Chains A and B, each alone.
Chain A
Amino acid sequence: MSTAPQHPRSAALTSIEKLHARTGMARIVSWRYVVLRRMTQFGILLLFFGTAHWGWEAAKDVPLLTGNLSGSKFLGLIPMADPFAVLQIFLTGHVLQKESIIGAALVLGFYALVGGRVFCGWVCPVNAVTDLAGWLRQRLPIPTLFALNRNIRYFVLATALILSVITGVAAFEWVSPVGMMHRGIIFGMGLGFLALIAIFLFDLLILKNGWCGHLCPLGAFWSLVGKTALIRVRFDKDSCTHCGECAKVCPEPQVLNLKKLEQTGYVVAGECSNCGRCTALCPEDSLNFDLRPLIHRHHPASGAREAAIENRNT
């Protein structure tokens, strides 16, 4: 290694410059994952809503998607269930029926492959509320009120499980704003919108990324599941100029610890929701979605690819 700084400030500034000089079209393209995420989030709710209220059917007498995000049935055949809810119900001492266990296993398996917090970024409707609050907060001069350890969510998770045993009801399900929102949209809101307003104000004025990034036990649960995920954000250390723009847009910036990423070559932390903000934004294209087993094959190749391009140019 040379004695010169590995990542000169000038290179980083050039990268930031590049970001600011983007054309309008490039800016819109960089929102592609946000648009896709809103489409999956509300698309799934629309399938539930359409089945519940407009009688959407795949075939005669085969409802398309019944239930909600806590438990559902696709095409009247494939059961799905929120494994965290099922775990809580299990802890209350209720003997669960086979269908909910199969459903929970299917959902758990799916997210264990694509990334646990893909639920948070791509499915959970509360994410749309907190994203809006986060986006506004970046644009308003709102000072930091206090800092909270992000690991507090794991204590909330543990509390939810312990309380399920003590009270005999699924502790989080009875107070969950996530449940209030998707149930509310599909089956009738009641006063659930108040909880959502509270979360919005909390995230906007009190704590940045407060709910999803610090408190939500469901997110904590999916973070733990996500450690095995196959789809991960790959990091290319050769092209990265350490401009830090990725961490600015990331709702969980601690997962983008570049020193760690240089060693691992990809985002290891389970808290990453694969939301794609950083990959779409990175001015040097150093962050990209990839399959974990292929990352190490791609990683050394990234240097070789640049060499090949240089060879072509000369």
Chain B
Amino acid sequence: MSVKNIARRDFLAKVAQGTAVAACGGLLWDYLLRQEVRAHPYALRPPGALAEADFHAACIKCGQCVNACPYDTLKLAGAGGDMPIGTPYFTPREVPCYLCPDIPCMKACPTGALSPQLKDVNDSRMGLAVIDLENCLSWKGLRCEICYRECPLQGRAIVLETHPRGISKHAMFFPIVHSDACTGCGICEKACPTTEAAIRILPHKLVQGKIGEHYRLGWIEKNEITQEFKPAAPEAPAKPGKKAPGMDYLNEGAP
């Protein structure tokens, strides 16, 4: 065997060894990554953040959104904490998002993890306010409604519904959150006077249900069957002399 062949063999063996090391290490690394990425499903992201998986892919962990935030709302997650490492998040009970109209955090993002497609900060969907009915002062019958009054989209994201109360003349004022307008800014959570906030912001995925598209709410005007769910095309009419399919029972017992 020539010297060249031996050298090549040696080289190939080394490449194989290196690849094996990389593959073994890669498996461990892959495991670590998957653990880290799903570390916290409760993370609340800045306005305009992409869906969580896309956000994880796109965020370069530079913290420029954190620099740009004038209220020190945003924090950059440290290593080994609850939040996925190096990504921006906020804790509404500490400092909520005050919905700057010019969205400086989104503008500071160099990668598009905070999407520039967000034109109006009121269209952002950072999370959804959820009320703990058992501990909400208003739902207990007290006059609180602080969340309603503090809500920057008052009357749209949080509305008050009055309910008569049996033993007293006074109505109860129930705050109700509407997901089509709630930005998840968390100003309500910050303002809630209970010891532990009775209204909280959570990611939509954790709290929002979804009815099937086949449900028809017949009492709502124009609530038609959706395009996606059309009834099957009628079968071809039965030929004379044959029984119509599915209609037999009408003729049964006929004189």
Task: Name A's B-contacting residues (CB within 8 A).
Answer: 51-52, 63, 66-68, 70-73, 79, 81-82, 85-86, 89, 92-97, 99-100, 103, 149, 151-152, 154-156, 158-159, 162-163, 166-171, 173-175, 179-180, 183-184, 186-192, 194-195
Q: Cα distance A97–B99 when bound, in Å?
A: 23
In the complex, are the beta carbons of B60 and A86 less than 8 A apart?
Answer: yes
> In angstroms, how far is the closest chain A Cβ from the Cβ of B206?
21
**What is the size category of the interface that chain B forms with chain A?**
35 or more
In the complex, are the beta carbons of B78 and A188 less than 8 A apart?
Answer: yes
By a CB distance below 8 angstroms, the chain A residues around B32 are 174-175
Give the contacts of B212-255 with A (CB-CB under 8 A): none
In the complex, are the beta carbons of A163 and B64 less than 8 A apart?
Answer: no
In the complex, are the beta carbons of A169 and B61 less than 8 A apart?
Answer: no
**Quick check: is B58 within 8 A (CB to CB) of the other chain?**
yes
With known contacts A100-B111, A156-B25, A66–B37 Cβ distance under 8 A: no
> What is the number of contacts between chain A and chain B, taking CB atoms within 8 Å?
162
Q: Cα distance A249–B62 when bound, in Å?
A: 34
From A73, A173, A191, contact of B79 by CB (8 A) = A191
Q: Cα distance A90–B11 when bound, in Å?
A: 31
In the complex, are the beta carbons of A190 and B79 less than 8 A apart?
Answer: yes
Cβ-closest chain B residue relative to A81:
B110
**Quick check: is B80 within 8 A (CB to CB) of the other chain?**
yes
In the complex, are the beta carbons of A190 and B81 less than 8 A apart?
Answer: yes
By a CB distance below 8 angstroms, the chain A residues around B33 are 163, 167, 169, 171, 174-175
By a CB distance below 8 angstroms, the chain A residues around B21 are 152, 155
Question: Interface with A: B2-10, B49-57, B129-137, B171-179, which one?
Answer: B49-57
By a CB distance below 8 angstroms, the chain A residues around B86 are 70, 173-174, 179, 183
By a CB distance below 8 angstroms, the chain B residues around A166 are 30
**Quick check: is B202 within 8 A (CB to CB) of the other chain?**
no
Q: Cα distance A141–B56 when bound, in Å?
A: 45
**Quick check: is B193 within 8 A (CB to CB) of the other chain?**
no
In the complex, are the beta carbons of A169 and B60 less than 8 A apart?
Answer: no
In the complex, are the beta carbons of B64 and A66 less than 8 A apart?
Answer: yes
By a CB distance below 8 angstroms, the chain A residues around B36 are 174-175
By a CB distance below 8 angstroms, the chain A residues around B78 are 183-184, 187-192
> In angstroms, how far is the closest chain A Cβ from the Cβ of B150?
28
In the complex, are the beta carbons of A187 and B76 less than 8 A apart?
Answer: yes
Cβ-closest chain B residue relative to A55:
B67
In the complex, are the beta carbons of A96 and B63 less than 8 A apart?
Answer: no
With known contacts A51-B67, A93-B57, A169–B37 Cβ distance under 8 A: yes
A-B pairs with lowest CB-CB distance, top 5: A190-B78, A191-B80, A71-B62, A192-B79, A97-B112
Q: Cα distance A174–B60 when bound, in Å?
A: 10
Q: Cα distance A311–B103 when bound, in Å?
A: 72
